[in-house]
Amino acid sequence: MLRGRIDVFDDAVADTAEYLRSLWPELDVVSYEVAGLPAELSGPGLDRWRVMVPENRIILFRLPIERMSKLHVKDELHLRMMVESCVLRATGEYLGRDPWDLAPDRFRDH
């Protein structure tokens, strides 16, 4: 089957969220969502994600992540890595932790 950018994006968000939930049980209550664009601006720039701690929600905005990210190679692997890094950074913001401490073994060279 053919897979488009939206499928790759959604799968990367879901897979990364599932991985993080397996490491951090407090994320079991968090809803990871994908939207095209933010409904409203929260500052001078365009948000790539929005973290709503009281509602246990993290929303990732597909178009800003895809279009504003400077990938040196535009392929499925690099897009997936960019999406994973956004999920990690948004989750780090949600938990109040450094995002790279959330999954220390995931990106370590073997």
The model's pLDDT over 28-58, given as tens digits with 9 standing for 90+, comes to: 999 999 999 988 777 777 899 999 999 999 9
Which architecture does CATH list for 5-101?
2-Layer Sandwich (3.30)
Calculate the CA 24 to chain-centre distance.
16
The model's pLDDT over 50-95, given as tens digits with 9 standing for 90+, comes to: 999 999 999 999 999 988 877 777 778 888 889 999 999 999 999 9
